[in-house]
Amino acid sequence: MRLSGHASLGLYYSFAGRVDDAIGSWRTALLLDSNYGNVRYQVAMALLTKGSPEEALLTLGEKESIWRMVGAAMIYHSMGQEEKADMLLADLIENHQQGWAYNIATIFAFRDESDKAFEWLDKAVQYKDGGLAEVHNEPLFSNIHTDPRWLRFLESQGKSPEQLAAIEFKVMLPDQS
């Protein structure tokens, strides 16, 4: 399997709730290329959701990037280092909001700040942020799933459970004759 295959498989495992399998696939991708895409961030966020913020921070590494800022903002928050977390979040908002509104929303959701999370999800819609394609699967939004606005937001994006369940799939196998 190629590098991109391992990275994609990790994402699909994550969406299926198979966090350990996701981490394994992403770590294989990192062995092939330690700087590939946002894989380092993905591993760190999986570790964070498993309750390992110190390991998550080590996984992010020291190389400066916007992905590192997003991840570190959540990790520092989980470690009670609010000054560092707030500084990173403020930098993202001030300098990167248009391209990173979806990710800013994940930070606020992770921090259990529902009003701000929905504000930034609305900005993500306004900016046509590509992250919205995966909003229904993103584990970092779990803190706001019980908020009544969550289902309304998913419906507005065509991604409510009922809307997704109504999609018909017809798999056509090649003729075996």
**pLDDT tens for each residue of 125-167:** 999 999 999 999 999 999 999 999 999 999 999 999 999 999 9
The answer as to whether 171 is a domain residue is no
Number of domains comprising the chain: 1
Residue range 7-36: average pLDDT? 92
The answer as to whether 46 is a domain residue is no
CA distance 59 to 48: 10
pLDDT of residue 133: 94
pLDDT of residue 1: 72
Handedness of CA 74, 110, 16, 157 (dihedral sign): negative
Predicted TM-score of the model (pTM): 0.91
Tens of pLDDT along 29-75? 999 988 888 999 999 999 999 999 999 999 999 889 999 999 999 99
The answer as to whether 129 is a domain residue is yes
Q: Which residues contact 104 (CB under 8 A, 6 or more apart)?
A: 70, 89, 92, 93, 97, 120, 123
Q: 71 and 85 in contact (C-beta within 8 Å)?
A: no
133 backbone φψ class: left, alpha, beta (φ>0; ψ -120 to 50): alpha
The answer as to whether 142 is a domain residue is yes
Give Cα separations from 113 to 10, 12, 98, 107, 130 (angstroms): 28, 27, 20, 9, 22
The answer as to whether 57 is a domain residue is no
Would you mind telling me the total number of residues written for the chain in this entry?
A: 177
3-state secondary structure of 151: helix
Residue range 12-41: average pLDDT? 92
Residue numbers of the domain that contains 153? 69-165
The answer as to whether 175 is a domain residue is no
CA distance 44 to 47: 5
pLDDT of residue 169: 87
Under DSSP, the state recorded for 134 is G
pLDDT of residue 158: 96
Where helices occur in 61-147 by DSSP H, the ranges are 66-78, 82-110, 114-126
